[in-house]
Amino acid sequence: MSTMRKSSSVVLALAILVGIGLIVSVIWPGGVQAAVAKKLKLAACYSTPIEEPWPNVIHQACLKVAKETGIKYDMTEHIGYTDFEKVLREYCERGYDIITGDAFGNEEVVRRVAKDYPKIAFCFGSGLGPAEPNFSVFDNWIQQPAYLCGIIGAKVSKTGIIAALPQMDIPEINRILNAYIAGAKDTNPKIKVIGTYIGSFFDPAKNKEAGLALIEGGADVIFSMGYGGIEAAKEKKILAFGNMQDQWELAPDSVITGPIWDMYPTIKALVDAVQGGYFSGRDYAEYSFMTKGGSYLAPYHNFEKKLPQEVKDLVAAKTKEIKDGKLRVAIDEATAKFDTK
């Protein structure tokens, strides 16, 4: 074959390859990487029922990313502590590329399984740090919008007493709770914040009972960090804040707003890292900050007109300061110091 014919063959081959690449780009926007992403399998393991805010926030983000990218997503909810390792290993053996969920109470188990499967990307809610090569962590870093709720609570309370219903006395809950208290105290140093730890991640009945007791103690605004407290607020016709999700529909005339945790930025960054081949053990905390769109205040809904403009303007100004880096909400993970009645 002559040199000229060889050159023509090479040019023709390259043209065909380029054409195939263009077709791939049309079929799978984003090219070959997006095509590869369609083959990824994502699994989530939740220790609590899916209706509980924490797992539901992660679940909704996984559904959204799966729909956008075409990856396969499966989940298992309400897993008992004794079954957690078994469920994790089953997903690993079934060839899932990414496994997420909550590791609280299962830290040793999840990290042990991750070590046994170094080629699988693990990314779990955890109060501890990441570990190379394949264990990343995240958490609900929503202390910034919680601080804003404290501001609102202090402004709208007529009794001078607001309340909080945290689930457990643990760092990841305390930093949200303490930010709420700080926002209230920074706005009105004389405001009293009363509260009680429920002692359970998911106990709506106990939450409601404790909420009713706090209302009896004079609180006219309550930050319900778990289900039940909002029901108490609705029953007694006082104001309330939801937590992690927009819970306005639970009590339209009681729920002013609440800190929203949006896990989409985190899950999207996680899938992108695996898809792009640069995943490693890291802390995804920044993706839950207001600056990354991972947290914000829920809409005011019924309170858009009820909430004084002065309060809305103050919250808007403080939100801008947070996003501009001019207001830093302290991360205080110590046991909350509630006021006496």
Higher pLDDT, 202 or 31: 202
DSSP letters, 282-324, are -B-GGGGSGGGTSEEEPP-TTHHHHS-HHHHHHHHHHHHHHHT
Q: Tokens standing for 61?
A: 């983000």
Task: Find out whether 91 and 296 touch, Cβ atoms under 8 Å.
Answer: no
Per-residue model confidence as pLDDT tens digits over 34-92: 434 448 999 999 999 998 888 999 999 999 999 999 999 999 999 999 999 999 999 99
Side-chain half-sphere of 174: how many Cα atoms within 13 Å?
Answer: 12
Instruction: State mean pLDDT over 85-100.
Output: 98
**What integer pLDDT is reported at residue 34 of this predicted model?**
41
Q: Tokens standing for 35?
A: 């095509």
Q: Tokens standing for 138?
A: 């995240």
Q: Which of 216, 212, 223, 208 is nearest to 156 (CA)?
A: 223
Higher pLDDT, 114 or 3: 114
Percent of the chain with pLDDT over 70: 89
Q: Which of 118, 125, 177 is nearest to 147 (CA)?
A: 177
Instruction: State mean pLDDT over 3-30.
Output: 41
- Taken in order 27, 32, 33, 36, the sign of the CA dihedral is positive
**What integer pLDDT is reported at residue 25 of this predicted model?**
40
Per-residue burial over 99-109, b if 16 or more Cβ lie within 10 Å, else e, is bbbbbbebeeb
Domain ranges of the chain: 33-138+263-292, 143-258+298-323
Per-residue model confidence as pLDDT tens digits over 167-203: 999 999 999 999 999 999 999 999 999 999 998 888 8
Q: Which amino acid is at 130?
A: P
Identify the band that residue 341 occupies on the pLDDT scale cut at 50, 70 and 90.
low
Q: Rounded CA gap, 87 and 107, in Å?
A: 14
Per-residue model confidence as pLDDT tens digits over 228-286: 999 999 999 999 999 999 999 999 999 999 999 999 999 999 999 999 999 999 999 99
Q: Rounded CA gap, 231 and 84, in Å?
A: 32
Q: Rounded CA gap, 210 and 162, in Å?
A: 14
Instruction: State mean pLDDT over 197-215.
Output: 91
Q: Rounded CA gap, 177 and 179, in Å?
A: 5
pTM, rounded to two decimals: 0.83
Q: Tokens standing for 207?
A: 């939450």
CATH 3.40.50.2300 fits 143-258+298-323, yes or no: yes
1.20.1440.130, 3.30.1950.10, 3.40.50.2300, 3.40.50.150: CATH of 33-138+263-292:
3.40.50.2300
Q: Where are the alpha helices (DSSP H) in 188-261?
A: 204-216, 229-236
If one counts every other C-beta atom within 10 angstroms of the C-beta of residue 249, the result is 9
Hey, what's the torsion of the CAs at 86, 92, 95, 100, to 10 degrees? 110
Q: Rounded CA gap, 90 and 76, in Å?
A: 11
Mean residue pLDDT of the chain comes to 90
Identify the band that residue 22 occupies on the pLDDT scale cut at 50, 70 and 90.
very low
**What integer pLDDT is reported at residue 35 of this predicted model?**
38
Percent of the chain with pLDDT over 90: 82
Q: Tokens standing for 340?
A: 């006496």
Domains 33-138+263-292 and 143-258+298-323 belong to one CATH topology: yes
